[in-house]
Structure 1
Amino acid sequence: MTGSIPPPSTPSTVVHLRPLASPLPVGFLALAGGTFVVAGLQLEWMPPTQGEAVALVLLAFVFPLQAAASVLGFLCRDGVTATGMAVLSGTWLSLALVMLAGPPGSTSKAVGLLLLLSALALWVPVTASGAAKPVASLVMALASLRFLTTGVHELSGAEAWKHTAGVVGLVLAAVALYASFALALEDQRRRPVLPTWRHGAGADAFTGDPPSRIGEVTGEAGVRNQL
């Protein structure tokens, strides 16, 4: 008696997804706090001797929140968000430590060079995100401009650049607050409440059907065998 040989089974991959809240609202709130207090120092709302207090705010409030947002971004499989938050947290931490070590009101060429590099590095998440998440991209682009103007001031010592950086910092604080509020409402209500102008993959990942939300997760970093 002849029997048929069953075809070999096709190997399958099972990926267990863990529900995590979006880290963007808390990361942008930390960014708003950091840029606002530094802008107050740059616009001379407080004396230069308050630089140590501003540095402590960056260490206690801004750095830990943005570092946590970066880690959660990787866990949420959003490398763009995680990269941006990592650059921001590391930059604020470096700025705070130098402010604590130096005399009040002083500038540092080392910090200036780091800020210029950070300004360029933030265009990695901006370019990668593009029009898919324009609100987040706008915040990162403004943060890049904020670091650029502050870096030029640190290198040149010119008061005009310091005041320009302070004004850009205030604009960034306002936009970051709006982005945090809009994204938090969107995450809580499961629908856009305030305009976030998501497009393409950004919109599909939030409002599309389940397959479009999950995407090709089996081919992503952490699931495939090589990065």
Structure 2
Amino acid sequence: MSSDSGPTGPSEPLTTDAVTRIVLRPIASPLPLGFFALGMGSTVLSSLQLGWVPTAQSEVLLLLVLIFVVPLQLVGGIFAFLARDAGAGTALLLLGAAWAGTSVTSLDSPAGEPVAAQAVFLLALVPFVLALAGASAQSKPLFAVLLALTATRFALTGLYEAGLGNALQVAAGWTGLGIGVFALYGGLALLVEDTRQRTVLPLFRRGKARESIEGDLREQLTEAQQEAGVRHQL
């Protein structure tokens, strides 16, 4: 029978700390970019819904959304995932793809007329955005409110596209302006926080989100071994 003993004594299994090293790369927060892009896109489309821009110029606004808003939200979403924030990354990428989809299909649809296919898409999107809002409410209530307002706007626009009346489009437009103001405040607050490394304008962070700003590095990395990309399975 062979022995487990070697020249230096009995062999012992290596601990995780002895064989694993987790390397994290600091990056700037992508949330200010995501907030500002969302606010810009929402405000621009509100100007169309409220009749401030002639319907004949709708293609120009939709192209601006595709060229300006969508890429910025997609970049923000990708970097949110790289920053290990699955909730923010999912929300920004989902909304960016939604802006892209609705803008492209609107370009191919008669200007100023409801489109039933758009109604199906927007109304189907609402519960998913609300789910993201619910998941964010425990730690980032400001982000949750922004997502809830966005879901409300999608619902109002979807009902208008279903042919239930122009009043719904006007309500969606005013809701979009509210989103723009809210996103402006949130993006500014996040940008100042990231610059000063402390909360200056209230963001109402709670739980893990608050610890991420006020806690030390050891607290930040305690659960890193359980995160996607480190653990063996998602």
Shorter-chain TM-score: what band?
over 0.9
In 1, the alpha carbon distance for the partners of 2:198 and 2:162 equals 45
Q: TM-score, normalised by structure 2?
A: 0.92
Amino-acid identity (%): 37
Q: Mean Cα displacement is larger for which, 149-158 or 182-191?
A: 149-158
Residue number in structure 1 paired with 2:230: 223
Structure 1 position 66, deviation (Å): 0.5
Residue number in structure 1 paired with 2:137: 130
In 2, the alpha carbon distance for the partners of 1:84 and 1:16 equals 26
In 2, the alpha carbon distance for the partners of 1:9 and 1:138 equals 47
Q: Secondary structure at the match of 1:114?
A: helix
For the Cα contact (< 8 Å) 1:51–1:99, is it kept in 2?
no
The answer to whether structure 1 residue 28 and structure 2 residue 35 are counterparts is yes
Residue number in structure 1 paired with 2:3: none
Unaligned stretches of 5+ residues in structure 1: none
Q: Secondary structure at the match of 1:156?
A: coil
Aligned pair in 2 of structure 1 residues 5, 215: CA closer, same or farther (>3 Å)? closer
- Matched residue pairs, number? 226
Q: Mean Cα displacement is larger for which, 209-218 or 38-47?
A: 209-218
Residue number in structure 2 paired with 1:90: 97
In 2, the alpha carbon distance for the partners of 1:109 and 1:18 equals 46
In 2, the alpha carbon distance for the partners of 1:93 and 1:66 equals 10
Residue number in structure 2 paired with 1:181: 188
Structure 1 position 87, deviation (Å): 1.2
Aligned pair in 2 of structure 1 residues 41, 196: CA closer, same or farther (>3 Å)? same
The answer to whether structure 1 residue 213 and structure 2 residue 220 are counterparts is yes
* Aligned alpha-carbon RMSD (Å): 1.6
Structure 1: 4+ residue segments shifted above 6 A: none
In 2, the alpha carbon distance for the partners of 1:7 and 1:222 equals 27
In 1, the alpha carbon distance for the partners of 2:51 and 2:13 equals 73
In 1, the alpha carbon distance for the partners of 2:222 and 2:27 equals 17
Structure 1 position 77, deviation (Å): 0.8
Structure 1 position 57, deviation (Å): 1.2
Unaligned stretches of 5+ residues in structure 2: 1-7
Q: TM-score, normalised by structure 1?
A: 0.95
Whichever of the two has the greater Rg, that structure is 2
Aligned pair in 2 of structure 1 residues 47, 7: CA closer, same or farther (>3 Å)? same
